[in-house]
Amino acid sequence: MGIEDKADQLKGGAKEALGNVTDNEKLANEGKADQLIGSAKEKLSEAGDAIKDKANEVAAKVEDKRDEAER
């Protein structure tokens, strides 16, 4: 999860709140969109990290098997 992703979510929350207080539906909707974008980016980042972790785990197992076979 990146700082930018959280910043998008926070910025979106502030926009939405300001839009609600000022009865500005467009601003509130922009805020909701910013929050969704930040959340989506965060989920993609987490998924990418999980894939990298799994790939490293598999690579380590392959290397261990190779080392065992060479002995």
What is the per-residue pLDDT across 4-63, written as a single tens digit (0 to 9) for each? 888 889 999 999 999 999 999 999 999 999 999 999 999 999 999 999 999 999 999 898
Domain that holds residue 8: 3-70
DSSP 71: -
Query: Tokens representing 60?
Result: 């380590």
Look at the chain and report how many structural domains it folds into. 1
> Cα torsion for 61, 63, 66, 71, to the nearest 10°?
-100
Query: Tokens representing 56?
Result: 């490293």
pTM exceeds cut of 0.75: no
pLDDT category, 64, cuts 50, 70, 90?
A: confident
**What's the CA gap between 53 and 44, in Å, rounded?**
14
Question: What is the Cα 53 distance to its own chain's centre?
Answer: 15
